[in-house]
Each structure stands twice: as C-alpha cells, then as structure tokens.
Chain A
Amino acid sequence: MRTVPFDDVVQTVRAMCGKAACLLPPDVLEALKKGSLTESSALGKAFFQQYLENASIAENENMPLCQDTGFAVYFVEMGTGVKLDSGTIEEALNEGTRLGYKDFYLRKSIVADPLFDRKNTTTNTPCILHLQSVPGDKIKITLAPKGGGSENMSALKMLKPSEGRDGVVKFVVDSVVNAGGNPCPPTVIGVGIGGTMEHAAYLAKKALLRPVGTPSTDPRYAELEAEILEKVNASGVGPQGLGGNVTSLSCHIEFFPCHLASLPVAVNLNCHAARHAEVEI
C-alpha cells in the first residue's frame, strides 16, 4: 500500500485552484479560435476577440479568467492501493481549496446556508466531491470550478421512454435556448442520459470534463451530439445571447443503463470560460 502525505494533496490542490482559475485549457482555447472564424455576426466576432484577449491577459498576469471562480467541484479517482498518512481525501481537498482561493486572490462564492442567512463561508469551502475507487496506487484529481451563472441554467427532466430520441433533442435544445445569454455563451453542453435522477445530473456534469469538441465514442450518441449542436447554433442566441450562429462550442453526452420505466435527461452548461485542471499524485 502506497502512502501519500496529507499535506502533499493539500499543496497540489492549492496550486490547482490557482491554475484552473487563470489558465484556459488548450482544448477550450482551440474551440474559441475555431468559433471566432465560424461566427458570422460582427458583434459576435468582437466578443470572440474579447474572450481570446481575456484568456491571454489572465494567463500573462495571473488574473482569474472570470470573477466567478466558482464552486470547487472535484472528481477524484482513488486507487485501491494508495492511502493518505492522515485525514480523509475530502479534508485535504477542503484545506487545499481554502488555501488556493486565499493565496491566488480568487473570489469566495459559497454561502453557508442556502435558504436563511446565506452568510459567506469566506473560504470557498466546502467543496463538492465525486469520489470513485479505481485499481492502482495513484490519486487522480480533476478540478472543475463551476460558476453560478451557467450552473443556474441547468435542467433535469424525467422523460417518458416513449418520448425517445426526439424528446431528448427537444428538451436539451429548449434548455439551452431558454438559457439565452445567462450562461455566457458560447457554452459547452453537458448532457446526462439514463441512470437515476441524481445520476443523470452527475453524468451531465461529468460530460463537461471531456475535451471540448471530442465526440462520444458511441456513434449513435456522437450523431445525437452533432444534431443538438446544430439545432442550438441555428437558434440565433449567439455569443452573450446577443445574436449569432455560435451559441455552443460543443455538446457532450454521457449515458448509463436505466430503469425500464425511466428516461432521465439532465443538462449542465459550461460557459466559454470552461475551466478545468487535472493532476495525478
């Protein structure tokens, strides 16, 4: 059994928080460059130029790409052959998040109680953790900071199985179009199909981690992704919701077996500041 010091995880996570906030991943940058050529409206093109300029300022001056540095959402694959010398992985992630958001001057956006006093925890913790146990002796941590503007435009529906493919397309396209300019389009569309209610939501979020523009490995789902993307971009919502033909950069679908009575579909959008960072310890 390999043992990893608790503090190594904390320091790794701390650094990841800064990196994820300021550095637009290469796949997203590539998609934005492509989008700037595809976009036909003059105003839309101007927005794309601003996104690219924003990304270079953020990288060169260590400034967060967006002031909403998000909820810290972690996907962790924990090898069965590795353990921490003390504490839990969740404690290490929270401590790393607290330090990272403080040391890199990121915004603290978490309120302690959702309904009553809504007081800021001032540390940007607690984080959200999706933990998976996998073979091996490594810890793989993916951080996907998630802003409120795009998260608020999420949607979930338990379709009737008879609604089928068309029902899925309609629900996803409507959700993206209704979101208008709120999620800072061009967006990445994450879709989860199948499983249970909460699993569909998890899959939609996980779909956002796939490198932008990479189709599903299942050709039927890849075709569905292309169809949804085409319909969304024909809607005219455009960059910032102010008109254009690039409303979304990519559509990613993840799927899972489901109950014979169900067809859960969840939509989770990521803004053009589609941030993520990954490390293996």
Chain B
Amino acid sequence: MSEVKNLTAPLSEADVRDLHAGDIIILSGTIYTGRDAAHKRLCSLLDENRELPVDLDGQMIYFVGPCPAPPGRVIGSAGPTTSGRMDAYSPRLIKECRLRGMIGKGDRNQAVKDAMREYGAVYFAATGGAGALIAKSIVNAEVVAFDDLGPEAIYRLEVKELPLVVAIDSHGKTLY
C-alpha cells in the first residue's frame, strides 16, 4: 500500500494534483451526494442555462443513495454506488462546474479520465458494501436539493475520517 494521507474537503487543485493512484486517504470535511437522477437533473439545468441548486466549484460528489436515518442517527447505511452510470454526466460537471472530485466504486470511462486530467479532478474508491461502517464516518447530513428524489436527493455531508483509496488520479493513472 502507498501513502496514507489525511485530507480535508473541499480540496484545492494543488491538493488533487498531489494525489496518486493507490494513495490511502482519510477524508474529513464537506462533500455532496448525488447519483443517477440528481446527475440527470443537474445536466438538464446546465442544458437550459439555469443556475444549479448547489455550487459545485471545487467540491466533491459522493455517488450514494443512503438508507433513511433511523431515530437518533444522522443517516442510514451509506456506501458507494457504481460510478460507471455517472460517466455520461461527470465530464460535464468537471468541465463546466469545476467539480474537483468524485467518490464511488468501480472503473470510469476514458472521457471521465480525460476531463479529470485536463481540469485537475480525482476519483476515490469508497468500500462498496460497507455502508454501515461508512455511515459511522458521517457526522451530519442535510438535504440541499431535489428532496422529491428521496434516496437520490442531493445531501450535504460532513464526514469525519472516511477511508478512501485514490483509484484514478489526475495524471491518468488508475488502479483498475
């Protein structure tokens, strides 16, 4: 295993350029959630030249649709979903909104990797199927857009020591 680094989100472009495929990251800070339906809506808003409900500039999106929060907890189980389904949308968010990072599971396509390299974005793998464990690293969760989408709404998450792996870096290197 390579280096273990503690990082706080949001990340700067310099932070991201300093990450290399295989690095183990312990992430704290603020990130946003978004998966299929939210990505589709964000891109239709871009098509119509309308403002997005969240400013993604320099931010990170975690591809997750969490379980409902049981009483007394901030969120239910919250592991990553398959990132490949977001390949159709991610390059646009990186180019047009300056999205800085993504967290998910599984490989990405060439268009995503190219955009990541050109604009300085990183792709982290979270541990798929470890939703109960990951939920322990989420200390706050608040729906900030598309409430009607239920588990697919956009949440703002405060995370504390979320374990991640740099799966694809901004230099085009990948672990897959």
Residues of A participating in the B interface, judged by any CB pair closer than 8 Å: 42-43, 46-47, 50-51, 53-54, 57-58, 61-69, 105-109, 118, 120, 122, 148-149, 152, 180-182, 184, 240-243, 271-273
Contacts and interface: CB of A to CB of B under 8 A. Distances in A.
B133 A53 contact: yes
A64 B67 contact: yes
Contacts of B175: 242-243
Given A50-B163, A64-B67, A58 B151 contact: no
Contact of A47 (B65, B67, B79, B127): B127
Contacts of A105: 67-70, 76
A277 to B, nearest CB: 17
A40 to B, nearest CB: 13
Contact of B132 (A65, A107, A242, A272): A65
Interface string B126-153: 0111111101100000000000011110
Interface of A is mostly: loop
B90 to A, nearest CB: 16
A82 B106 CA distance: 46
B150 A181 contact: no
B175 to A, nearest CB: 5
Given A241-B176, A242-B167, A64 B127 contact: no
Interface in B48-91: 64-70, 76-79, 81-82, 84
B125 interface: yes
Interface in B138-174: 149-152, 163, 165, 167
Interface string B10-44: 00000000000010100000000000010000000
Contacts of A240: 105, 125, 127-128, 165
B107 interface: yes
A69 B79 CA distance: 11
B105 A182 contact: yes
Given A63-B77, A105-B67, A273 B165 contact: no
B106 A64 contact: no
Contact of A67 (B78, B107, B150): B78
Contacts of B127: 47, 50-51, 54, 240
Interface of B: 1, 22, 24, 37, 64-70, 76-79, 81-82, 84, 105-107, 125, 127-133, 135-136, 149-152, 163, 165, 167, 175-176
Given A120-B150, A242-B167, A42 B1 contact: yes
A43 to B, nearest CB: 5
Nearest to B107: A180
Nearest to A43: B1
Contacts of A46: 1
> Which of A53, A68, A105, A108 has the most chain B CB within a 10 Å cutoff?
A68
Given A67-B79, A241-B176, A58 B132 contact: yes
Contacts of A61: 132
Contacts of B131: 54, 63-68
Nearest to A111: B37
B68 A107 contact: yes
Given A46-B1, A67-B76, A182-B105, 6 more contacts: A66-B129, A67-B79, A107-B68, A120-B151, A241-B176, A271-B129
Contacts of B167: 242
A227 to B, nearest CB: 25
Contact of A66 (B37, B77, B125): B77
A107 B129 contact: no
A63 B68 CA distance: 10
A68 B81 contact: yes
Given A68-B65, A105-B67, A54 B176 contact: no
